[in-house]
Amino acid sequence: MNTPPSALPLNLMALFPLILLAASAVVVMLAAAFYRHPRPVMMLTLAGLVLSFASLFLSRGVGSRQVTALLVLDHYALFFMGLIVAATFVVAVLCYRYFGGDESRHEALYILLLLAALGGGVLVASSHFASFLLGLELLSISLFVLIAYPRFTEWPLEAGIKYLILAGFSSGLLLFGMALVYAQLGTMQFAKIGTMLAAPDQVLELYGLAGLALIVTGVGFKLALVPFHMWTPDVYEGAPAPITAFIATVSKGAMLALLLRYFLVAGAYQSQPITLALSLVAVMTILIGNLLALLQDNVKRILAYSSIAQLGYLLVGFLAYGGLAIEAVAYYLTAYFVTMLGAFGVVTVLSGGLNDGSDGVAERDSDRLADYAGLFWHRPWLAGIFTAMLLSLAGIPLTMGFIGKFYILTAGVEASLWIPVVALVVGSAIGLYYYLRIIAAMCVHDPKAGSVPEAKFAGTASLAESVTLAALTFLLIGLGVYPTLLIQLLETTVVHLAGVPEFLALTGSL
| Residue 157 · residue 151 · CB < 8 Å | yes
Flag whether pLDDT at 216 surpasses 50. yes
Longest dimension (CA), the chain: 77
pLDDT for res 439: 92
pLDDT for res 447: 46
Flag whether pLDDT at 500 surpasses 70. no
- The SS3 call for residue 324 is helix
Average pLDDT score, the chain = 83
Q: Give the range among 8-22, 289-303, 320-334, 487-501 with minimum mean pLDDT.
A: 487-501
Q: How confident is the model at residue 54 (pLDDT cuts 50, 70, 90)?
A: very high
Q: How confident is the model at residue 156 (pLDDT cuts 50, 70, 90)?
A: confident
Q: Give the range among 4-8, 105-109, 396-400 with minimum mean pLDDT.
A: 4-8
Q: How far is CA 317 from CA 282, 287, 421, in A?
A: 10, 16, 10
pLDDT for res 284: 93
For 17, residues 6+ apart whose C-beta sits below 8 A from its C-beta are: 52, 53, 55, 56, 59, 78, 81, 85, 121
What CA–CA distance (Å, rounded) separates 191 from 100? 47
What CA–CA distance (Å, rounded) separates 205 from 262? 19
> Given its phi and psi angles, is residue 457 left (phi above 0), alpha (psi -120 to 50 degrees) or beta?
beta
pLDDT for res 23: 93
pLDDT for res 123: 92
Query: Residue 407's CB: how many other CB atoms inside 10 A?
Result: 23
Average pLDDT score over residue span 291-296: 90
| Residue 320 · residue 278 · CB < 8 Å | no
pLDDT for res 114: 94
Q: How confident is the model at residue 91 (pLDDT cuts 50, 70, 90)?
A: very high
Flag whether pLDDT at 451 surpasses 70. no
User: Which of 100-114, 128-142, 259-273 ranks highest by mean pLDDT?
Assistant: 128-142
Query: Residue 273's CB: how many other CB atoms inside 10 A?
Result: 11
| Residue 136 · residue 251 · CB < 8 Å | no
User: For 347-372, what is each residue's pLDDT tens digit?
Assistant: 988 886 655 444 444 556 777 888 88
Q: How far apart are the first and last CA of the chain?
A: 7
Closest CA to 247 of 217, 222, 216: 222
Q: How confident is the model at residue 509 (pLDDT cuts 50, 70, 90)?
A: very low
Average pLDDT score over residue span 489-510: 56
Helical segments of 357-417, H only: 375-378, 380-394, 400-414
pLDDT for res 263: 77
Tallying the residues shown for the chain, one arrives at: 510
- The SS3 call for residue 73 is strand
| Residue 401 · residue 315 · CB < 8 Å | no
Query: Residue 297's CB: how many other CB atoms inside 10 A?
Result: 12
Q: How confident is the model at residue 128 (pLDDT cuts 50, 70, 90)?
A: confident
Percent of the chain with pLDDT over 70: 86
Identify any residues that bridge with 73 across adjacent strands, giving them in sequence order: 65
Flag whether pLDDT at 46 surpasses 80. yes
Q: How confident is the model at residue 496 (pLDDT cuts 50, 70, 90)?
A: low
Q: Quick check: bond before 5 cis, omega within 30?
A: no
3-state helix, strand, coil in the chain (%, to 5): 75, 0, 20
Average pLDDT score over residue span 393-420: 89
Average pLDDT score over residue span 55-71: 82
Flag whether pLDDT at 154 surpasses 90. no
| Residue 320 · residue 328 · CB < 8 Å | yes
Closest CA to 118 of 149, 139, 145: 139
Q: Give the range among 5-14, 68-77, 95-104, 337-346 with minimum mean pLDDT.
A: 5-14
Backbone angles phi, psi at 86, to 5 degrees: -65, -40
Flag whether pLDDT at 419 surpasses 50. yes
User: Which of 35-39, 83-87, 98-102 ranks highest by mean pLDDT?
Assistant: 83-87
Average pLDDT score over residue span 89-99: 90
| Residue 346 · residue 300 · CB < 8 Å | no
User: For 225-254, what is each residue's pLDDT tens digit?
Assistant: 888 888 888 889 888 889 999 999 999 999
